[in-house]
Homo-oligomer: A and B are copies of this chain.
Amino acid sequence: MHLSADTLNDMPHRQRVALINSLSGYKSANLLGTRSADGQENLAMVSSCFHLGADPALMGMIMRPHSVDRHSLEYLQDTGVYTLNHVHADILHAAHQSAARYPRQVSEFAATGLTPQYLPGFAAPFVAESRIQLGLNVAEIQTLAINDTVLVIGRLAHIQLPGYALGADGYVDIEKAGTVAVSGLDSYHQGRRLARLSYPKPDQPLTDMAAPADDRKPNGQDAD
């Protein structure tokens, strides 16, 4: 089936939005926690967080200033800090519900039954129920002229995660932590590991590092 740019233009708006939102593939599911300078807490579901670099440790996220993102964006701009909290199955409904258009004076924490939690010296609220919690300092905010979305770049200041999820090699097993993925606007998925593949080199076969040692194909080698 082939759809061209013209086909897209002719589609009803809602259908088009659902379609385009599905095309990038699986997306991360995070709860964005912010607090205004005068103490109003805000929580919003975001599916547009991405890795930007490890040194310095940076994450990007795209926000739509004319949507429910507007309060969050305002608060993180004012205070310079925000949190990202992985969504797992037990808090999925609450997380999705946080995207409803609540009035400014309503905290999405209270409205959805999630619990704000603070670290000393860090002004943005974490989601206590989340298993992987990140605290970030705003590093850069840029409006993309092409469609007026906003690119927020944050520098990692705090990482809180269960010890069982952190491997000796630094990999965090987000499947073990129950983190979910999003597709499209409203579909949520659990991950089931297919493989962890060794570092690829020309003319060297790949090994599945997640397989038991005896099963490692084709020759039991490990990644370097």
- Chain A residues in contact with chain B, CB under 8 A? 1-5, 8, 11, 13-30, 47-60, 62, 84, 86, 89, 92-93, 96-102, 106, 111, 132, 134, 139-140, 144, 146-147, 149, 151, 153, 155-163, 166-167, 169-175, 179-181, 183-202, 204, 206, 209-210, 223
6 A–B pairs (Cβ distance < 8 Å), ordered by A: A1-B161, A14-B169, A15-B170, A24-B84, A52-B144, A188-B197
Complex Cα–Cα for A2 and B25 (A): 31
Is the pair B194, A92 in contact by a Cβ cutoff of 8 Å? yes
The residue from B14, B171, B191 contacting A170, defined by CB atoms under 8 A apart: B14
Q: How many copies does the complex hold?
A: 2
Is the pair B181, A25 in contact by a Cβ cutoff of 8 Å? yes
The residue from B99, B147, B171, B183 contacting A185, defined by CB atoms under 8 A apart: B171
Is the pair A186, B194 in contact by a Cβ cutoff of 8 Å? no
Complex Cα–Cα for A92 and B153 (A): 30
